[in-house]
Structure 1
């Protein structure tokens, strides 16, 4: 056993708990933060971005630990490779890491009080998801919690780099609402586990086919309208239109959980693309399409 072994183990556990959510958290927040960088010196950009990463890591780790500590039975069905059901770590070991992650997350916001609203918002959102019955219902779990969580992620990512502006606030609210309308896509792959633990997700309540029709014909058009009204679609109208149409097509294809997981990952890439369009505007770079 080497001195680095404990560090390697913790990195491996962090990856195991969180890798599925990187594109919707650490990567997404980093992309959006690029739009706040123009006008800053190179040393300031590097320092502020490293600070942002130090906030984003406990942001996602605290959530993953909270969710997976209480969701072991579901993970044994839907995601048996995760650290707890696979035996890499015990529940008590995960709880110890949860304490460290939450303490670090709150400590960073106390060090930089401008991030306190976003930090409190995310802690309360996670508590709502994990401790209340409403957090297991499709409206609370996605429409409410993904909107507030998206706001916390994007607002905090911008403010870690530079002070918020009216335009950045508008983009944050619009993209957060977009996420709250469309993130039901993640539940298409988890029907078996959600049914087993009593969650009332959109596919469980309305059925697989019914939920796909609702997402495609109601939530996706509404989400697209939101970012259109916020002025985001104009940044790359053809590209954003075609990627949304492609997402709608994938949602309507009834496949297995692996296919639905790939659709969810495509959805997170579209989330990142929307944020990249806003950042490109800040950099005065034209987006193809």
Structure 2
């Protein structure tokens, strides 16, 4: 029992920061799948095993290669705090990867190999290549592919997605890949220390805010318009983008920018 408690605690400590971008959207998507397929409500829980492996595999991968960075930015994490060794994390990484592939192969609504392979490839891109630390590779590429894999995969754990759902997930993935530049405004100091080439570091803080507010966010709005999502809630979605642009332009500190980022995630989840 103590071993189980410890493993659950480690899972929580490795992953809790990403729950707002995985488990919460997962619950929303799974609930929608149950409703559209007219399934009993308990089927919502079927997304949990695959998504748990999804986030555990990624966080272990990311934190194993990022121990030195976490000593600066997030010293409370299991590896820099000394609660687990790198070797111990690597063993759990192998188990998480095997479980991730296993849940993909034995899903009852058609295998999730494409979505799983996409996420494994995306994780390798982020953690093992220099392009994973560049603003375009990290945000415009990896966030798009990762979001598509997550949303499409979650739906398939519950029901077979129709073409309209698949198109919706594709549009949301492109939207996030365009709008997500906001996240790099939160930790310019830490990203500078680890030599990450985020947009604020490459072109400057004020210039990046100008570019995000007047180019990236309007472009992300166009993506939703072309994809037919704006028409679902035109006033709400339009007001949210104006608010994001305003907060991005006027942000001056990390806490404020983090709240702006969370507003952006809320827009994506609501979509």
Aligning the two structures, in what range does the TM-score lie when normalised by the shorter sequence? over 0.9
**Structural mapping, 1:62-141, within 5 Å:** 62-112=57-107, 114-141=111-138
1:123, distance to aligned residue in structure 2 (A):
0.3
Aligned to 1:199: 196
Out of 72-81 and 50-59, give the one that drifted further: 72-81
1:75, distance to aligned residue in structure 2 (A):
1.7
1:13 aligns with 2:13: no
Contact 2:191–2:197 (8 Å) recurs in 1: yes
Contact 2:125–2:131 (8 Å) recurs in 1: yes
Tell me, in whole angstroms, the C-alpha distance in 1 between the residues paired with 2:210 and 2:6: 43
Structure 1: 4+ residue segments shifted above 4 A? none
Contact 2:37–2:159 (8 Å) recurs in 1: no
Tell me, in whole angstroms, the C-alpha distance in 2 between the residues paired with 1:72 and 1:259: 26
CA-based RMSD of the aligned residues comes to: 1.6
1:46, distance to aligned residue in structure 2 (A):
1.9
Tell me, in whole angstroms, the C-alpha distance in 1 between the residues paired with 2:160 and 2:27: 16
Tell me, in whole angstroms, the C-alpha distance in 2 between the residues paired with 1:72 and 1:192: 17
Tell me, in whole angstroms, the C-alpha distance in 2 between the residues paired with 1:263 and 1:91: 34
Contact 1:23–1:272 (8 Å) recurs in 2: no
Equivalent position SS for 1:120: helix
Q: Which has the higher contact order (CA 8 A, sep 6+)?
A: 1
Contact 1:184–1:202 (8 Å) recurs in 2: yes
Tell me, in whole angstroms, the C-alpha distance in 1 between the residues paired with 2:104 and 2:258: 33
User: How many aligned residue pairs are there?
Assistant: 268
The answer for unaligned runs of 5 or more in structure 2 is: none
1:58 aligns with 2:56: no
1:212 aligns with 2:209: yes
1:40 aligns with 2:38: yes
Aligned to 1:287: none
Tell me, in whole angstroms, the C-alpha distance in 1 between the residues paired with 2:233 and 2:195: 41
Equivalent position SS for 1:87: coil
The answer for unaligned runs of 5 or more in structure 1 is: 275-289
**Structural mapping, 1:174-185, within 5 Å:** 174-185=171-182
